[in-house]
Amino acid sequence: MRSFRKSGFLTVALAAVIILSLVLAGCGGQKAAEPQKAAGPVKWMANSVWPPNNHQTQGLEEFAKRAKDVTKGKVEITVNSGGALGYKGPELLKVVRDGLVPVSDMLTSGVAGDEPLFNVVTLPFLIQSFEEGKILNDIARPHFDKAAETKWGQKILYIAPWPAAGIWSKKEVKSVADMKGLKTRTYDKNGGLVIQAVGGTPYPLPFSEVYSSLATGVIDSVLTSTPTAVDAKFWEVLKFYSPQNVTMATDLITVNLKEFNKLDKETQDALVKLGKDLEKEMWEKVAKLDKDQEAISNKNGITTVQPSKEFLNDLSKVTKPIRDEWLKTAPPEAKQIIDEFNKKVGRQ
């Protein structure tokens, strides 16, 4: 009888141990967490419409490289450049919002058809220097962040500039009067409106036709930035450069908000800090890039004619109707940004 009781007790005890181990396994014990741990890092595809050697693509590549380090391997980003994913640009706000690509860069003015507020940074002659472009960007940034997150389901990681656009011409341009009659290749609506406002004729030519049009006299000037001028070897067909800062484009680099919110707080904070660091570096890099490309043009025969303060103020006045017309239908935040900017730089 004692033997039976003892044997029965051991059987019950053994069964209890087995049941307890099964319960622990099913309730999230240490072993149950192993499959989740084995899932590995978050892997994001990143889109760039620019070629591999473009400074914007290189910036995104640098962000991807550092993201793996600062998140301790929790986030891995693969950059696809040159529009390899098939997206042209104007649709990219929707593409990132819908999660078709988790991360992308996009031309700020290029997606302004969907979010008009973004056009504020490329209004002609609102800024008069690269430094003022940074001031405008910093003032606009909180408004851009809010629009991106609340309306477009994405978070801006950083904003990177392009060199500002100036006039490359066959004749010397030192005043608004000198611009009258220019036949100028332009690349967007605002550029065309500027050339019309100063009495010139805009030619919205594909870039592939610019050199031949200059050589044959179809046009006598081009509105563009220094890297483009070097790529096209403008010194072979033009003589002067007037760095007027007509407009200064920027790129937004954003991540789908749902994907970002899946990350733990520490990882999110690491990516936000990385974005701030890289944004600062990109503004410094592009300022140097602009000067370096201008120096290459000068070395090859282009003469830079620095516009006077009076000339820049005259350009700002003559193009004010363009800015005023845009503000009539612009989001209310746009006027707030412009007013704060003008107060900051001492203009009305």
**What mean pLDDT is predicted for residues 209-219?**
96
C-alpha torsion sign, points 56, 254, 163, 208: positive
For residue 10, what pLDDT band results from cuts at 50, 70 and 90? Answer: very low
Distance (Å, whole) CA 242 – CA 240: 7
Residue 47 has pLDDT above 90, yes or no: yes
List, for residues 324-346, the tens digit of each pLDDT value: 999 999 999 999 999 999 999 99
What band does 287 get if pLDDT is binned at 50, 70 and 90? Answer: very high
C-alpha Rg value of the chain to the nearest Å: 28
Do the domain assignments include residue 108? yes
Specify the CATH number for the domain of residue 258: 3.40.190.170
- Answer whether residue 314 is part of any domain: no
Which tokens go with 16?
């209890």
Indicate the pLDDT class of residue 9, thresholds 50, 70 and 90. very low
Render pLDDT for 125-150 as a digit per residue (tens, 0 to 9).
999 889 999 999 999 999 999 999 99
| pLDDT higher than 70, residue 39 | no
So what's the pLDDT on residue 131? 94
104 within domain boundaries: yes
Give how many domains the chain has, as a whole number: 1
115/144 Cα distance (integer angstroms): 10
Q: Indicate if the pLDDT at residue 189 is higher than 50.
A: yes
**Residue 277: which domain range?**
41-162+249-300
Residue 75 has phi, psi (to 5 degrees) of -130, 125
Over the chain, what is the mean pLDDT?
Answer: 90
What pLDDT digit, counting tens, does each position of 219-272 carry?
999 999 999 899 899 999 999 999 999 989 999 999 999 999 999 999 999 999
Does residue 289 fall inside a structural domain? yes
The answer to the question of residue 337 being in a domain is: no
- Provide the pLDDT for residue 207: 84
Instruction: Provide the pLDDT for residue 188.
Output: 83
Residue 272 falls inside a structural domain: yes
Does residue 45 fall inside a structural domain?
yes
Say whether pLDDT at 1 is over 70. Answer: no
228 within a domain of the structure (yes/no): no
Comparing C-alpha atoms, which of 255, 270, 264 is closest to residue 67? 270
How far is 113 from 188, CA to CA, in rounded Å?
Answer: 13
